[in-house]
């Protein structure tokens, strides 16, 4: 049976780079992959999947709010790769579970586990509930050498506290989010509050 995988990590942990490497490996073996991304992620263009290392590729499917995957496109597909899965609706994650079971296609989802407030994204929550395999893609804290587990949001050089009333989804890269360990997250937030 094919599996539903969730590979999560803090910002900057090379999740998209990993996705693009997996796509390359499948294609090297003459296998067909379908790359999916949420339409909400427009940082590099409407349909671009791009790693911070500079590698990029067009998504085959861009899902907007209310969309589902057109299952007629799955014929002959050997693997589904999903970027920024945290932004998908729970019902799309349910459909990905269905695809792995009924179509016997492995589905590998990459994304953040939590937002800058340290709360689960809805898509990530559903993946944690349904995935056959949950793997952490590790990176180090931006301020020390410990493992990063949180995403620290920065505005004008200051940490944004988790009780901030600003938008939860606020697209950005290194200029806005930094990977942190629990200790550095707490230290930066306490300075922002003080």
The residues carrying an active-site annotation are 84
Q: What is the CA radius of gyration of the chain?
A: 17
CA distance 49 to 20: 8
CA distance 191 to 124: 29
Domains by residue range for the chain, with CATH = 4-136 (3.40.50.300), 150-193 (no CATH)
CA distance 15 to 169: 18
Task: Look at residue 42 in the predicted model and tell me its pLDDT.
Answer: 67
149, 184 Cβ separation under 8 angstroms: no
Helices (H) and strands (E) in the chain, counts: 4, 11
Interacting residues of 106 by C-beta distance below 8 A, sequence separation 6+ = 2, 3, 5, 78, 79, 80, 100
Task: Look at residue 59 in the predicted model and tell me its pLDDT.
Answer: 86
* DSSP summary character for residue 160: P
CA atoms within 13 A on the CB side of 144: 12
13, 135 Cβ separation under 8 angstroms: no
Each residue's pLDDT expressed in tens, for the chain with a length of 194 residues: 799 999 999 999 999 999 999 999 999 999 999 999 988 776 667 777 877 767 778 889 888 888 999 999 999 999 999 999 999 999 999 999 999 999 999 999 999 999 999 999 999 999 999 999 999 999 999 999 999 999 998 887 788 777 766 666 555 555 578 999 999 999 998 775 55
Q: Does the predicted model carry a pTM greater than 0.85?
A: yes
Task: Look at residue 160 in the predicted model and tell me its pLDDT.
Answer: 77
């Amino acid at each position: 049976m094919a599996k539903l995988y969730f590979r999560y990590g803090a910002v900057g942990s090379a999740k998209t780079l990993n996705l693009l490497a997996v796509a390359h490996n499948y294609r090297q073996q003459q296998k067909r992959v379908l790359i999916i991304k949420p339409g909400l992620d427009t940082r590099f263009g409407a349909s671009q999947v791009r790693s911070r290392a500079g590698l990029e590729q067009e998504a085959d499917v861009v899902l907007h709010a209310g969309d589902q995957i057109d299952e007629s496109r799955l014929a002959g597909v050997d693997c589904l790769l999903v970027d920024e899965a945290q932004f998908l609706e729970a019902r799309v994650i349910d459909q990905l579970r269905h695809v792995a079971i009924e179509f016997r296609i492995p589905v590998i989802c990459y994304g953040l586990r939590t937002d800058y407030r340290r709360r689960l994204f809805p898509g990530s929550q559903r993946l944690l509930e349904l995935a056959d395999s949950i793997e952490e893609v590790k990176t180090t804290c931006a301020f020390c050498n410990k493992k990063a587990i949180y995403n620290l949001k920065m505005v004008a050089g200051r940490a944004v506290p988790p009780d901030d009333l600003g938008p939860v989804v606020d697209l950005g890269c290194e200029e806005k989010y930094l990977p942190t360990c629990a200790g550095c997250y707490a230290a930066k937030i306490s300075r922002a509050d003080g």
